[in-house]
Structures are given as C-alpha cells and as structure tokens.
Structure 1
Amino acid sequence: MLQAIHDNLKGIFAMVIIGVLAVVFIFWGVEFVAVGGLTSTQGVSVNGQDLNPNEIRGNFQDELNRYQVAFGDVNVPDEIRSQIREGVIDGAVRTELIRQRTEELRLRPTNAQVLETIRQYPAFQVAGEFSKDAYYAALRSANIEPAVFEAQQKQVVAAQQLDRGLYASSFLLPDEFTRRQALVGEEREMAWVVLPAAGFVDEVTVDDAALAQYYEEHKADYSTPEQANLQYVELDLANVRNEVDASEEKLLAYYEENVERYRSLERRRVSHILITPDGDEAAARTKAQEAFDRAAAGEDFATLARELSQDPGSASAGGDLGWADRATYVEPFADAAWAARPGEIVGPVETQFGWHVIKVDEVEAGEQRSFDEVRPELEAEYRQAEAERLYADEQEQLDTMAFEAGGDLAQVAQDLALQVRTVEGFTRQGGGGFGNVPQLVEAVFDPQVLAGTQLATLEVAPGRTVSIKVVAHEPPRERPLGEVRDQVQTALVQELARGRAAEQAGALVAALRAGETSWDDAAARWSGAGDVAGGQPKLDFVGRRDPAVPPALADAAFRAPAPVESRTYGTAELGSGDVAVFAVAAVRPGSPARLSPAERAQALRETRDRIAMQDAATYVTRLRAGAQVEVNQQLFE
C-alpha cells in the first residue's frame, strides 16, 4: 500500500515519538481518527459503515483522563462524563461523514501529496529535515504499521482537499466586513473603580455554627489527598544507546544494507504548459495538442508558455517549474517527464489539473555517497536505530515479565538486572520524577495495582518505560474541623468579604442609576482602593481587547446596553475576587477606515476565515442531518 512512499523516504535517524494521528482541521474542528478496518455492531454505525468501537472507547478514556487530572481526587461528575461521551461519539461521526464525502467526491490524493504531508510532521524530522528512521521509530513506538498510518494520512489529505475547496468557495461581502468591523473594532468611553474584597474583611464576623456549616458544605476540599508509595524499575533509551556496539565492521554492514539511501535522487528541471478544462475536456485536449504541435515545430517553449499556460505559478516564468525529484509531481506527469530525454517535448499528458505539454530542460543524475563521506551521520543513525531495536526488545521483555510476575517487582528487577527505585506520596496529581502523566495516574490507582497483585507497566515518556508496584496506599481522609479550622475560617471570611463587596457594588450602581450619587463622588471614594491600578476613574475610550482593561470587566462593559440619554452602569467580578463598578458614557462603532493597510488585510483574513468556518460547520451539519447514524447505548459499558 502506497509503496511509492516507502521508496522515497530517506534521511538521518532521530528518535522523536509523539502522537501524530490527531489532525485538527481549522474549519470544522474535527479530530481525525482511524475509523475503518474493523467492523462491529457494538459501536457506532454511519450510513452502514461500522466504526471501530475500541478507537471510540480509547478516545473517551483519553478525554476522561484529562478531565480527571483537573478534578484531582474527586471523580469526574456523571453529567460531565455524559458530555464527554457525547462529544467523542459526535466527533467520530463527523469524521466518518467527512471521509465518506471525500469518497463520494472522488478526492484521490497522490502518493507525492501524502509523502509531503508526512514529511511536514515535526515528529519525523531531524534538524528540520525529514528522517526516514525517525518516521519508522515513531510508528514503532506507537505500535502503528506504516501502511496503516499512510492509508490514514491519505484520508487526511483528502479531507484537507475538501477543506481547501470549502474555503475557496466562501466569500465575503463588503457589508459583512463593515458590520463585523463595527462590532469588533467598537470602542466605549468608559471609566471604572474597584471595590476590593479585602476592604470588607473587617466587616465580616463568623461564629462556630457558620464555620461548621461551611465545613460540611466543603468537606471534600479539606480531605487529605489519596496517595501511594511506589517502587519501580525503569528502561531508559539513553542508557541503551550508550551500550550499542558501533564497530567499524557493523557500520560497514549497515552501510551496505542501506546503500540506496545514501544515493541522491535524480532531479530534473522541467517546464510545462497547462491547459485547464473549465468544463470542456475535448476543447482543452485540442488546445493542448495545438500547443504541443507549435512547440514541436520549433516555436520557443517559454514564449508559448507565457501565451498559453493557465498555471498561475509558472506561466510568467515561461512554464519553468525549477529543479525537483520525481516524487514532487503527480504520477502521470512524473512518468512522462522521467521517460523523456533532455530537450525533448512530450504531451499532451492528462492529470487532475488538466492537460500538460512538458519539456525536460536539464537532468541531474543521482550520486552515490561513499562510506567515508556518510560515516559521521551513519554512525549516529546506526546507534539510534540499534538502540531503538534493543529498547523495543527490552520493553517487550519487561512487559511480559511484569505481567507474569503478578506483583513481584523484585523478581523482575533481578531477572533484568534493573535497579529498584522509590517514590513516596504519589497522588492523583502525579509526583516523584514522573510529573503529571494521566495514563500513569490511572495505572497506579487501578484497584489491582493498589492491591499489590499486579504491576503497572507503561511508557511514561518517549524512550522511558517503567514497571511500578504500589507498596503502600492511603485513601483520602476527611480531616476534622478542629484540624483545619484556621483554613476554613480564612476561606469563609474571604467568601463573605467578596459577597459584601458585590453587595456594596450593587448598591453603588443603584445609587448612580437613581442619581443619588455622582460618578465623581464614587471615583473619589474608591479610586486607588483596588488591586487593578485603582481602576480608571476618568472617562476614556477603550477597545474590547485593550490590555489595560481586565477581561471580565471588558466583557461586562461591552455587553452592557449602549447609553441613550444617560450613562450605563454595571458591575463585574474580577478574577481576584474584587468587584469593579463601571460607567459607559458613549459608544463609537469600529470602522474599516480607521485601520492601517496591514490591519485591514489582517481583519479581512480573520473575517473570511470566520465565515468559512461557519460555512464548513453548516456543511457538516447538513451531512449529519442526511445521514443514518446508529449508536449502541452499551458502547461504553
């Protein structure tokens, strides 16, 4: 499958492993996952196509793990779990609908296009250049077959082609841009003061009953975290790399095995004349034949290309496409160009772009690099490749032994000559030298691992695999009020002080609206009292994204009704817990005329992108509305 891709991959080895299957399309926000290859009635069916239930469950578990990290020791609420399930299913359905749509439209990416997409992944690059060995190493680590990944990438490229088509079909009317700019570029003449919660602390008193009630309502906040003491053994790719035998004999053998990879590809400088069909294939074919006949009769090819070619990228350059290797071009074009001799004109050749008349200007033969020339890079590549192989073997061995050992980590360490290390106080937030790795947290707090009857073995980072035993487990413990009384009192006082600040702010707004006090008096009373540079007591025009305006305040002030006969007043709770009171005296709509040429160009791009996103969302919604989707409600059970 896609053998041409394998034939053209080359480069220096480097170990970079990341998950590269998640490709986010900028318009419809779909996360690409593989959905073909395994049929089951236990999952989701889209227009008769069964999706892989294990993929969907895996995506759900990944999302759940991310949420669990945020919730810490508290389980993710059922309501949010349900939302996660619905989101994962919806994403899988939309992705499959897009895949089916690309099939219906017969979008067929070429091998060269797929190869170029793969080359762009940072995970497959070394020093900014694509590396074949990094590519295979990353896929090995993720347990993905290259043929499977490349087939998936072919679907990705097809979806990107659909994406670009939708973007190209979107358009922006002048009135739409003016209306959006009036809103986005709107400025408001406003002032504000800040009522600090800390200023109301002295007004707050709490008794034992209030403390007890607050403690009961927030008891989970004062529990000790669930934690475990761990023992573990570790495989480290860096250590394995240091053990690799890179003798001259082995390096020479490696060179001979991979000699073709050290041969530069033949490159050709090609020019062409492109005739696009524009709905009339026969007319385009005839016009291309006429162009070929004129070129074959001796007319200057570059002059003909400037006159006839409909390729906007090369016509003005006389059809010159520059130097490139064969994989750069789509197959029919490459076949014709590589079959021709230097100076020969061939065609017409049909591709998905139209009809081509091709001239081969120059040929640069590939060259074989000697062992001595490539030795430095070859040694580094060999060490890394061999380290990868040894690491994968040892990783498999560790996984097998850990599984068979039950909870006996000491036996595993002895058999593999690995050092037993310890971590104390590992919580659901992570700990030790592991950081916060959701998969590790899930594995450590698995009931069988906590019971000591099973070891948790997993790769916690690229090139780092551990097998862990829980030697002690401490469940969450509710701390009595007497133990946390000071903390509870501080939290309650702060909450009540924030409430008093909000009450005072509300009363001030009511007085301002009723004319019982003036803004000047309010500003004199509260200016400088808060922690946001005292607010801005004097009226001035500010924009929605003015960095001087706290985000919560800007959101509230720009949502407030525009003033008509008198100023608009309101409040906003700031992230600090303080409360701002604001006044809006006037509104000045945005205008394209106030933008610089660069700002206008940027605003036009942003507005068109927004419209394109809306159009794409509508497109997918319509696909969904016309689809037959069946979901097994027991999918996640």
Structure 2
Amino acid sequence: MKIVLGVIVLGFSFFGIESYFVANTNTNVAKVGGSAISEQEFTQRYNRTVQAEMQRMKQQFGANVNASMFQTPEFKHRVLDDLVNERVLLETNDKLGIVVPVERLRNEIQKIPAFQNEGAFDKDQYKQVLAANGMSPQSFEDDMRKDIGRTLLPAQIASTAIATDAEVDAYLRLRDQRRDFRYAKLDKPAAAQGEVKDDEIDAWYKQHQAEFMVPERVAVEYLELDASKLEIDQKPDDNVLKERYEKAKSRYVSAEQRLASHILVKVGGKGAPEDQKAALAKAEEIEKQLKSGKDFAALAKQESADLGSKNQGGDLGWLDRGTTEEAFETALFALGKGEVSQPVLTSEGYHVIELRDVRPGKTRSFDEVKPDLLKEYADSERERVYSDKAGRLTELTYQNPSTLETAAKELGLTVQKTDLFARTGGQGIAANPAVAKAAFSDGVLVQNNNSDPIDLSPNHIAVLRIAEHKPATPKPLDEVRDVVRTRIVAERTAKQAKDRADALYAQLGKDKTLDTLAASDNLKIEEQKGIGRDAATPDSRLVAAAFSMARPAQDKASYRLVDLGGDSYALVQLTAVADGDPSKLDAKTREAARNTLQQQMSMSVTREFVDALRKATKVSISESKLQDQSP
C-alpha cells in the first residue's frame, strides 16, 4: 500500500492532480461542416454577448440586471446560432476562394480609435493596446480578417436587393394609410362584492401554493484567492532585469517606418489585357505629371481610386514592413525620401507611390524601459505565486472535501461566509451567477463536498461549500390570508369584466350596432379620423387593433374587442380606410422610402441566403455542453 501511494503522489508531483480527473473527451459545443466551435470559443462569445446585453439594459432601464436571465437555453442557442452562421460564411469563403485584401484589413484596423493618437494610427499604441489585452498583432489581425470575411458575401447579396417603382408605390400606400374608427370603452367594474368564505380561501391557497413559497436557500463558506491582492516582497536587482531586457529586446525595437502617399488606378472592365494596358497607361501619365512638378496631394484628390485616402491627398500614414502587399512594400522601401515610384501592380490595381519621410528604427535603452520591466517582473511574480497557490488550493480542497480549514491554514487564507441566498443569487460573492450555480450543484448541495474552483474574474477564484441549507417551504396560510382574499376578489372582478365584454361583443353585427349597444348600455362612443399606423393616441392598443382589422364591407361592419389592460376593454368599429397616395410625394421622399424598403429587402434576402447555406451544411450541436455554459 505504501508503494502504491508513493507512486500516486509521485504522479501528482509531475502532472498535477487535475490530470487524473480530466478525461480526454470531445469538448466542442458544435461542429459546422469540417470545423468545430470549441467550448472556449463559445464561452468567450457568450460572455461578451452577456456583458453587452447587460450594459445595454442598464443604460436603457438604469437598474441592476441579474445575469441569470441570460442562462436560458433560448439565449444560449441565439448566441450559438450567430457563431454557426459566421462559421458557415467563412467555410463558404474558403470554398469560393474569397479572401480579405491586405489593404482592406489595414484600413479597417487603422480606423479603430483605440489605436489612434491625435486622430492618426499609431503603430506603437497598436502594439501596446493589444499586449495589454493579451493579444499579438498576428492573432488580432487573424480575428479581424475573420470579422471582415464573414461580411463579404452578405454585403454582396444585400446589394442585389432592388425595389421596383411598383413595390415602392405599394409600400407607400401601406405606410401612409389612414384609418377612421369609433370605439366605446368598457371601464373596469367596481370590485366584486360578496363574502369570501374560509373554505374558498383554503381551496384557492392549496391550488396556488407554489406562488407563496419561500424559495430554497443556502449560505456558503468560501475561500477566495485574488492575484491582485497578493503581496510580492521580492525586488529584483538590475542584473535580473537586464537579463529579462536582453531576452525580450526585440519588443523594444521600433522598426523603420516610411511616410507614404499613393495614387491608385484600378483596372477597369473585366481585367482583360487591354483593360490592364489602359490602367497602366493612365498610371504612367500620372507618374509623368508628378515628375514634371504636379502637386501629389492635388493629383491624388483628382485621380486616385482609393476612397480611403483620396480625400487626404493619398496619405497612407507611417507604414511598417509587412503591412502592405509585397510588390507595394518592395517599391516603397526602395525609394529615397521625396521620390516617386513607377507604377506598381498589386491586386487592387496600379499604384504610384511617394515617399515623404523616413523614420529610422530605434532600440529603447535599458534605463528607458526599466519601469516597464519592474512592473512586468512584479506581475509575473504575482502570477507565479497565484498559480502556485491556486494549484495548491485545488489540491487541498479536493483531498479534504469536507472542510476548507486545512487549505485556509496552509495558504494563510480566511474562511468567509455569505448570508442565505436563493438560486437567483444574493449579495457579495453570491451575486456572481457562477457562485450560485456551484452552490446549488449536486456535488456541493447533495454530496456536501467542496466545489471546484470558481473563476470570478481573471486570476481570481473561490472554492466554497455549504454552511447552511434551508429547503423551500410554503408560507403559512395565516401569513398570506389577506393576500389570498384580495386575489380572489381580483379574479372575480376580472371575470365579471371579461364576461360583460364578451357578451356585448357577441351582440355586435348580429342584432345590434355599436350605436344601439351604446344607447342600451349607457356607453360613450368616441371617434378618431385619419389616424396613422404609428399614432400613440388615443391608445396604441386601439390603433394597433384598428390596423389589424379587415377593410369594412359595404353591407357588413368590422368590429373588434380590444383588451386595454387592467380589466378594461373597448369595442372598436373600423369605419374607413384611406391608402396613402404616392403620386403626391416628391422625388426625395420617394427615394428615402425606396432606401428603407431596399434595406428591409436586403436584410430579408441576406437572412434567406445564410439560411440556405446553413441548410446545405451539416451542423451538429452538443446540447449538454451548450447548457453547461454560464456568464
């Protein structure tokens, strides 16, 4: 037994305890054609979507938003559907040979405000922002290439949507339609009279007992490990920092940059030899004009086909190697300051390039970057200590599943405790949905074990266990008797109101009109004329009902019973419908309507196109892995 235990401990020391419990299983949430969507990819998108939705709702409603509303299967499927559709588009791009041009990628990146300094793209700031977010330029550019790539086909499909004059006229007739209607309100009746007997209260309470439950609640004790709060005593001497500086010296080297402008001449037609000759001839003529003294910026504004730089006189800003196509780069870095190139052919057409200035490469000295090195050293030490403690915390809480005290004592942590909270969460650490999910999991709540480490934020985890458990219990009837009585009276009142409304509505069109019904039941008839479909008065529900009704026939009136909420109703009679008159609208208004209609048609055809691609692609989804995700 000692030998066996020794072998197991030795294995733990080499591979960590986690390797004994992580099975080599498929971790994909979905498979789309020949590629997979991993749990990590889905979780990243899911968390970003949840954060964006929560931020939007906070701005709109100005209140705290419980993230548990985003844990529904429907919301998770919505996020996954977006990922699947994007993957289908990217696979279609590969099949069709569609790629994102280097110039398009460069232009899109340079437009991002986070990478700009005083309104212009700054390469150093670009690298620093990416590094701060744990990304390299290569990985970011790959992501950007995918983001742009999945819009290429939909954009082309959307551009095919055309609204004919007849369709615009039909749209305008409906959009500008006006309707006349009359209505009589049936106000909420007085509260239903009559005694509510005890046996009626008892029966109603038993039938609706689930509505009067004190929810199941737990209190947990937990250990929390946060890298940002760890104290790092070690202070390196200069030799240690210099060693790190030498190893990472390439990070502190700014490459040579060239300030360039260009004039682009695109190859017209179908790109036939004669089209290329015409484009080259035009580019050579532009080169000739420049070398004879013509102002480059003025000529670029006049002749360049690059919409992104044309209005800036062809200015491309400071360029590094590797940011343009090879032919363009070769020509640019062969020029001397102030020189203009001969026409250079790339995938976009012919370029005439001007080198305006050169910024030589420079290596920052050790003294210049020492503050950065000190911070990086402290961060790496803190991460190392955190990693060691987090690993040890995991081992100790697994080896001692019925207590947190052993781990707390060895790691110098304090066992903390929450107040009671339900499955929807509570205060403090319990406000985190992942904590509530773990607290009510089978392993923690039923088996009474310590939880797995819970990620609260980057380099911030907690391990918890149940300290107190209170099952769901119904509130005593005596405590809610008055509420039950009020609810019974409200139901009686609502039934009276609905029965009266149904009875009156049944008489319309048979033996009574709205006028005779109003006279016999003392109702007040009100009339609205020329109401548009977006009108908010007299009541948006009345307007919506009027526009959902069939046109009135000459021999038969059109009626509708409308629920106005709060146990009040309205009897509505549609009396006239007048379509909009497109002939009375000026050209500008018609064009705006055409644009709106084409946008709607574009969204429709694009959605249908993506749906068709998806139907032609084999998609399999792992429901169990999908529902395991939480924000």
Does 1:349 pair with 2:344? yes
Does 1:608 pair with 2:598? yes
Using the TM superposition, give the Cα deviation of residue 98 of structure 1 relative to its aligned residue in structure 2, in angstroms: 1.4
Q: Counterpart of 2:265?
A: 274
Alpha-carbon deviations, 1:315-362, whole Å to 9, x = none? 577x62352434764554344323322333335434332332323344
Q: Counterpart of 2:315?
A: 321
Report the Cα distance in structure 2 between the residues aligned to 1:399 and 1:596, rounded to whole angstroms.
Answer: 72
| 112-121 or 554-563, larger mean C-alpha shift | 112-121
Please list every run of 5 or more consecutive structure 1 residues that lacks an aligned counterpart in the other structure. Answer: 1-37, 528-536
Shift of the 278–160 alpha-carbon distance from structure 1 to 2, 3 Å rule, reads: same
Q: Counterpart of 1:155?
A: 146
Aligned match for 2:485, one of 477, 489, 496: 489
Report the Cα distance in structure 2 between the residues aligned to 1:506 and 1:169, rounded to whole angstroms.
Answer: 50
Using the TM superposition, give the Cα deviation of residue 278 of structure 1 relative to its aligned residue in structure 2, in angstroms: 3.1
Q: Counterpart of 1:477?
A: 473
Does 1:412 pair with 2:410? no
Aligned match for 1:360, one of 352, 355, 358: 355
| 560-569 or 225-234, larger mean C-alpha shift | 560-569
Q: Counterpart of 1:562?
A: 551
Q: Counterpart of 2:222?
A: 232
| 360-369 or 453-462, larger mean C-alpha shift | 360-369
Q: Counterpart of 2:278?
A: 287
Report the Cα distance in structure 2 between the residues aligned to 1:245 and 1:602, rounded to whole angstroms.
Answer: 67
Shift of the 494–304 alpha-carbon distance from structure 1 to 2, 3 Å rule, reads: same
Where does 1:111-122 land on structure 2 (aligned, <5 Å)? Answer: none
Does 1:465 pair with 2:464? no
The count of corresponding residues between Structure 1 and Structure 2 is 574
Report the Cα distance in structure 1 between the residues aligned to 2:156 and 2:589, rounded to whole angstroms.
Answer: 26
Where does 1:130-141 land on structure 2 (aligned, <5 Å)? Answer: 132=127, 135-136=130-131, 138-139=133-134
Q: Counterpart of 2:158?
A: 167
Alpha-carbon deviations, 1:394-446, whole Å to 9, x = none? 55554454444424222233333233322122111110124654333221111
Using the TM superposition, give the Cα deviation of residue 449 of structure 1 relative to its aligned residue in structure 2, in angstroms: 1.2
Shift of the 234–414 alpha-carbon distance from structure 1 to 2, 3 Å rule, reads: same
Does 1:336 pair with 2:331? yes
Shift of the 427–62 alpha-carbon distance from structure 1 to 2, 3 Å rule, reads: farther
Which residue identity lines up with residue 465 of structure 1 in the other structure? I
Shift of the 516–604 alpha-carbon distance from structure 1 to 2, 3 Å rule, reads: closer
Shift of the 56–247 alpha-carbon distance from structure 1 to 2, 3 Å rule, reads: closer
| 373-382 or 215-224, larger mean C-alpha shift | 373-382
Report the Cα distance in structure 2 between the residues aligned to 1:136 and 1:395, rounded to whole angstroms.
Answer: 24
Does 1:506 pair with 2:502? yes
Q: Counterpart of 1:220?
A: 210
The answer as to whether partners of 1:40 and 1:50 remain within 8 angstroms in 2 is no
1:280 is paired with a residue of what secondary structure?
coil
The answer as to whether partners of 1:568 and 1:583 remain within 8 angstroms in 2 is yes
Please list every run of 5 or more consecutive structure 2 residues that lacks an aligned counterpart in the other structure. Answer: 1-23, 52-64
Shift of the 94–307 alpha-carbon distance from structure 1 to 2, 3 Å rule, reads: closer
Shift of the 312–61 alpha-carbon distance from structure 1 to 2, 3 Å rule, reads: closer
Shift of the 378–59 alpha-carbon distance from structure 1 to 2, 3 Å rule, reads: closer
1:201 is paired with a residue of what secondary structure?
coil
2:420 is paired with a residue of what secondary structure?
strand
2:153 is paired with a residue of what secondary structure?
helix
Report the Cα distance in structure 2 between the residues aligned to 1:371 and 1:190, rounded to whole angstroms.
Answer: 82
| 342-351 or 594-603, larger mean C-alpha shift | 594-603
Which residue identity lines up with residue 505 of structure 1 in the other structure? A
Report the Cα distance in structure 2 between the residues aligned to 1:95 and 1:408, rounded to whole angstroms.
Answer: 46
Which residue identity lines up with residue 315 of structure 2 in the other structure? L
Where does 1:414-453 land on structure 2 (aligned, <5 Å)? Answer: 414-434=409-429, 436-450=431-445, 451-453=447-449
Which residue identity lines up with residue 158 of structure 1 in the other structure? G
Shift of the 400–341 alpha-carbon distance from structure 1 to 2, 3 Å rule, reads: farther
Does 1:51 pair with 2:36? yes
Which residue identity lines up with residue 487 of structure 2 in the other structure? A
Q: Counterpart of 2:58?
A: none
Which residue identity lines up with residue 452 of structure 1 in the other structure? N
2:453 is paired with a residue of what secondary structure?
strand
Using the TM superposition, give the Cα deviation of residue 627 of structure 1 relative to its aligned residue in structure 2, in angstroms: 3.6
1:493 is paired with a residue of what secondary structure?
helix
Shift of the 461–89 alpha-carbon distance from structure 1 to 2, 3 Å rule, reads: closer
The answer as to whether partners of 2:223 and 2:415 remain within 8 angstroms in 1 is yes
The answer as to whether partners of 2:268 and 2:279 remain within 8 angstroms in 1 is no
The answer as to whether partners of 1:170 and 1:612 remain within 8 angstroms in 2 is yes
Which residue identity lines up with residue 106 of structure 1 in the other structure? G
Q: Counterpart of 2:21?
A: none
Shift of the 616–106 alpha-carbon distance from structure 1 to 2, 3 Å rule, reads: same
Using the TM superposition, give the Cα deviation of residue 101 of structure 1 relative to its aligned residue in structure 2, in angstroms: 0.5
Shift of the 306–222 alpha-carbon distance from structure 1 to 2, 3 Å rule, reads: closer
1:269 is paired with a residue of what secondary structure?
strand
Report the Cα distance in structure 1 between the residues aligned to 2:605 and 2:467, rounded to whole angstroms.
Answer: 56
Which residue identity lines up with residue 321 of structure 1 in the other structure? D
Shift of the 325–125 alpha-carbon distance from structure 1 to 2, 3 Å rule, reads: closer
| 109-118 or 454-463, larger mean C-alpha shift | 109-118
TM-score by length of 1: 0.71
Q: Counterpart of 1:515?
A: 513
Q: Counterpart of 2:616?
A: 626
The answer as to whether partners of 1:125 and 1:134 remain within 8 angstroms in 2 is no
1:424 is paired with a residue of what secondary structure?
coil
Shift of the 301–91 alpha-carbon distance from structure 1 to 2, 3 Å rule, reads: same
Report the Cα distance in structure 2 between the residues aligned to 1:292 and 1:187, rounded to whole angstroms.
Answer: 58
**Larger Rg, first or second structure (1 or 2):** 2
Q: Counterpart of 2:4?
A: none
Report the Cα distance in structure 2 between the residues aligned to 1:116 and 1:510, rounded to whole angstroms.
Answer: 66
Report the Cα distance in structure 2 between the residues aligned to 1:491 and 1:124, rounded to whole angstroms.
Answer: 60
| 323-332 or 267-276, larger mean C-alpha shift | 323-332
Using the TM superposition, give the Cα deviation of residue 92 of structure 1 relative to its aligned residue in structure 2, in angstroms: 5.6
Report the Cα distance in structure 1 between the residues aligned to 2:118 and 2:437, rounded to whole angstroms.
Answer: 35
Alpha-carbon deviations, 1:457-504, whole Å to 9, x = none? 222346653322221222322445455333333334333433332333
The answer as to whether partners of 2:263 and 2:303 remain within 8 angstroms in 1 is no
Where does 1:97-112 land on structure 2 (aligned, <5 Å)? Answer: 97-109=88-100
| 177-186 or 406-415, larger mean C-alpha shift | 177-186
Alpha-carbon deviations, 1:89-130, whole Å to 9, x = none? 765653432121111222223567657767888999999996
Shift of the 402–203 alpha-carbon distance from structure 1 to 2, 3 Å rule, reads: same
2:419 is paired with a residue of what secondary structure?
strand
Which residue identity lines up with residue 427 of structure 1 in the other structure? A
Q: Counterpart of 1:14?
A: none
The answer as to whether partners of 1:295 and 1:345 remain within 8 angstroms in 2 is no
Where does 1:380-391 land on structure 2 (aligned, <5 Å)? Answer: none
Where does 1:34-113 land on structure 2 (aligned, <5 Å)? Answer: 46-47=32-33, 49=34, 51-52=36-37, 54=39, 93-109=84-100
Report the Cα distance in structure 1 between the residues aligned to 2:615 and 2:137, rounded to whole angstroms.
Answer: 35
Using the TM superposition, give the Cα deviation of residue 573 of structure 1 relative to its aligned residue in structure 2, in angstroms: 3.0
